[in-house]
Amino acid sequence: MSIVSSRAALIVGVCGIASASLAQNGFTYVKATANIFGYGVSTPAPGGGGGGTLANVIALNAGTGRVAAFSSGGQAGWAGTNVNGPDGGNFSSSTNIPSVGPISGFNGPLSGQLVGVFIEAGDISALSAPGGISYPNLASYQQASYSPGLRQVFFIGDGKTGTGSGTTQAFSVPDGAGFLVLGIADAFGFNAVAGYYDDNVGGYETSYTIIPAPGSLAAAGLVGLLAARRRRA
């Protein structure tokens, strides 16, 4: 993982947004049972405990130089109890789940976070999983911008640099991505092979904006755009 170019920083730090006619905006409810490792086509549970439900899949408009931003809220829980918001909680102090098929593993502090993955269009089942993104500490969830690769599970949380506060984060969309997938990375104790989705409850209300390129920016606020979408939802 690396911080994206100044293009993404401009979007977050200088109050730019895509023209409403060009940006791809939407809202989705991500269940706590949404299995990120099945990338919306299956519900794998090699570790047992049930595979949950299909992850949320968003077809992306074609383009290059795209940047995604999110605003998420709600409560999700594990073993039948709502225990945390989209930034994750202390059901487990860490998550360490290896890759499944073509999708990378996820390893970082806390557990039960909203996560995403960008995938190519077409059948990716025969592809090898890339290495996972490094999230060594809580500060690694608080950067202004990120550049996940294809099929790398990445932390989204509430979409801000702080929990419920801070600036909106920017996520560079790989040029080969045809879909954005949203879900949860779960396993027994969040530290095993993927599975144990069937006792999860709740979920996260999530707004997203896909900005096609900095050339389509208008002089307004990305944070305001996302907030307005949340209010309408």
User: Nearest CA to 87 among 76, 98, 79?
Assistant: 76
Q: Give the domain ranges of the chain.
A: 6-232
Write the DSSP symbol of residue 184.
Answer: B
Cβ atoms 65, 174 nearer than 8 A: no
Query: What's the alpha-carbon Rg for the chain, to the nearest Å?
Result: 16
Give the rounded distance of the alpha carbon of 142 from its chain centre. 14
> In DSSP terms, which residues pair with 1 in a beta bridge?
none
Please tell me the distance from the alpha carbon of residue 155 to that of residue 106, in angstroms, as a whole number: 9
Per-residue confidence (pLDDT) for residue 232, from 0 to 100 = 55
CATH annotation of 6-232: 2.60.120.430
User: Nearest CA to 174 among 226, 130, 126, 221?
Assistant: 130
Dihedral over Cα of 41, 42, 43, 45: its sign: negative
Per-residue confidence (pLDDT) for residue 117, from 0 to 100 = 98
Dihedral over Cα of 159, 15, 23, 130: its sign: negative
Per-residue confidence (pLDDT) for residue 6, from 0 to 100 = 40
Cβ atoms 205, 111 nearer than 8 A: no
Question: Tokens for 153?
Answer: 């599970």
Per-residue confidence (pLDDT) for residue 222, from 0 to 100 = 55
pLDDT in tens, the chain (233 residues): 433 344 444 444 433 443 445 899 999 999 999 999 999 999 999 999 999 999 999 999 999 999 999 999 999 999 888 799 999 999 999 999 999 999 999 999 999 999 999 999 999 999 999 999 999 999 999 999 999 999 999 999 999 999 999 999 999 999 999 999 999 999 999 999 999 999 999 999 999 999 997 654 443 345 455 555 555 55
Position of tokens 């500490």? 137
Please tell me the distance from the alpha carbon of residue 198 to that of residue 88, in angstroms, as a whole number: 18
